[in-house]
């Protein structure tokens, strides 16, 4: 099958090659090695051996370089029917995958340089408690908000989804609420403890985020989790849901508080941006951004920036004066706000992170230098 516009040919399940794509045995073997070694991701790229990511570093688990057909043949059988259609139509697809007695995984199958490639992430079997994540203590207050929009930003692989899952877990242990999560795919499976939790997977339970989010609003939820806000329509509905009394948690690929807010506003056409700024200013309750650093004691450890939204921050959002939000964080420390530099300085003082590494992640390096002199 050829992608419209001259893309690479993707094999069909014909009688001749059906046997090639009939088993997940090799993928299962790789994933077994991933879990055994405590890695986070399996990386399959043509021209190099299968690799895993362990504590942020990539290392091979085999010696023989892979080919595109080998990768495709190993991963295609693991895709859900909808994910397989997406890959055939668009040459990129996300899918969940489960191996009994081993665990659950998130597959991203795509193409690069005309050949198949895949990244498979191991999903934890247990939903973490918030105090296990080593985030600033004030983050726990986000799970106690009655309503509003809470945005969690950070680069890929920074633990955003884990933080959202931990916040939901806190609510689930403490309160009897109705929680609806919308994810692509579902990463953490929440048990029903005190809350009733519905988990909607895109491509399995709903066709896309906007459709699932509109449906969720008719299901009488108290809390809505939007795995990722990827498009303006999802953003618009999420903001409206927060304005109408729901607690909405969502993630974005951003670097700091200001860029998290601007990412939403800039996703809309210029003529709509002022309106969305006014709505966002009213809906926002908090913005958290985080990064993961290598811990000298082993593993990885987060640093985070949190802005608890107050009157001043709402005015800055309305006026598009986002450059003042960093100052707003320092002015609202009494409400739980904390800067990334304060979080990094604490990691340096406790011996978890080297000063030079912390400076690489600082949004305002000069502030971190000043804090470390104290």
Residue from 329, 323, 285 nearest 306 by CA: 329
The arrangement of strands across the sheet holding 103-112 comes to: 57-60, 51-54, 41-45, 115-123, 103-112, 93-99
CA dihedral 105, 199, 217, 315 (to 10 degrees): -50
Decide if pLDDT at 9 tops 50: no
pLDDT higher than 90, residue 198: yes
Q: Answer whether residue 11 shows pLDDT above 80.
A: no
pLDDT of residue 210 exceeding 90, the answer is: yes
* pLDDT score of 264: 97
If you average pLDDT over residues 98-111, what whole number do you get?
94
Residue 276 pLDDT more than 50?
yes
Residue 14 pLDDT exceeds 70: no
pLDDT digits (tens, 9 = 90+) for 337-351: 999 999 999 999 999
Q: In the predicted model, what is the mean pLDDT of residues 110-124?
A: 95
Q: What is the pLDDT of residue 329?
A: 97
Contacts of 54 (CB under 8 A, 6+ apart): 37, 38, 39, 40
Among the residue ranges 21-25, 141-145, 226-230, 248-252, the one predicted with the least confidence is 21-25
**What pTM was estimated for this model as a whole?**
0.86
What pLDDT was estimated at residue 170? 98
- 81: CB partners within 8 A, 6+ apart: none
Question: Residue 234 — pLDDT band, cuts 50, 70, 90?
Answer: very high
With cut-offs at 50, 70 and 90, classify the pLDDT of residue 22.
Answer: low
What integer pLDDT is reported at residue 82 of this predicted model?
86
Are the beta carbons of 202 and 183 closer than 8 angstroms?
Answer: yes
Evaluate if residue 30 carries a pLDDT over 60: yes
Average pLDDT over residues 46-62: 94
Q: Which two tokens stand for residue 335?
A: 């409400």
Q: What is the mean pLDDT of residues 78-92?
A: 93
Q: How far is CA 246 from the centre of its chain?
A: 21
Q: Is the pLDDT of residue 236 over 80?
A: yes
Residue 12 scores a pLDDT above 70: no
Residue 157 binned pLDDT confidence (cut-offs 50, 70, 90): confident
| Mean pLDDT over the full length of the chain | 92
Q: Residues of the chain with pLDDT > 70: what percent?
A: 94
Number of residues assigned to the chain: 374
**For residue 17, what pLDDT is reported?**
35
Distance of CA 231 to the CA centre of its chain: 15
Residue 3 in this model has a pLDDT that exceeds 70: no
Mean pLDDT, residues 101-108 taken together: 93
**In which band, very low, low, confident or very high, does the pLDDT at 185 lie, cut at 50, 70 and 90?**
confident
Question: What is the signed CA dihedral for 221, 130, 203, 253, rounded to 10 degrees?
Answer: 110
């Amino acid at each position: 099958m050829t992608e419209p516009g001259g893309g690479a040919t993707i094999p069909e399940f014909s009688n001749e090659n059906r046997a090639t794509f009939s088993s997940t045995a090799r993928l299962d073997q790789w994933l077994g090695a991933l879990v055994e070694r405590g890695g986070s991701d399996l990386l399959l790229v043509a021209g190099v051996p299968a690799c895993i990511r362990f504590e942020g570093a990539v290392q091979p688990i085999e010696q023989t370089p892979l080919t595109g057909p080998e990768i495709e043949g190993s991963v295609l059988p693991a895709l859900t029917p909808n994910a397989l259609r997406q890959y055939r139509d668009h040459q990129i697809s996300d899918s969940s995958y489960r191996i009994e007695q081993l665990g659950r995984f998130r597959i991203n199958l795509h193409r690069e340089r005309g050949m198949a490639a895949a990244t498979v992430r191991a999903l934890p079997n247990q939903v973490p408690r918030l105090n296990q994540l080593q985030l600033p203590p004030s983050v726990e207050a986000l799970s106690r908000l009655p309503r509003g929009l809470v945005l969690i930003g950070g680069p890929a692989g920074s633990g955003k989804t884990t933080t959202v899952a931990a916040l939901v877990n806190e609510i689930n242990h403490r309160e009897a609420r109705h929680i609806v999560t919308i994810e692509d795919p579902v990463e953490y499976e929440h048990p029903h403890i005190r809350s009733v939790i519905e988990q909607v997977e895109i491509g399995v339970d709903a066709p896309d985020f906007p459709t699932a989010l509109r449906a969720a609003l008719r299901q009488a939820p108290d809390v809505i989790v939007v795995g990722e806000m990827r498009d303006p329509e999802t953003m618009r509905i999420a903001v409206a849901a927060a304005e109408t009394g729901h607690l909405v948690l969502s993630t974005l690929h951003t670097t700091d508080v200001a860029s998290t807010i601007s990412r939403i506003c800039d996703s809309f056409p210029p003529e709509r941006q002022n309106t969305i700024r006014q709505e966002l200013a009213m809906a926002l309750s908090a913005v958290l951004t985080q990064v993961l650093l290598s811990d000298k004691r082993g593993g990885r450890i987060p640093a985070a920036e949190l802005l608890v939204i107050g009157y001043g921050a709402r005015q800055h959002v309305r006026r598009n004066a986002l450059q003042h939000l960093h100052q707003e964080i320092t002015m609202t420390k009494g409400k739980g706000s904390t800067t990334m530099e304060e979080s990094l300085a604490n990691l340096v003082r406790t011996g978890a992170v080297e000063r030079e590494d912390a400076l690489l992640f600082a949004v305002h390096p000069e502030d971190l230098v000043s804090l470390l002199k104290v």
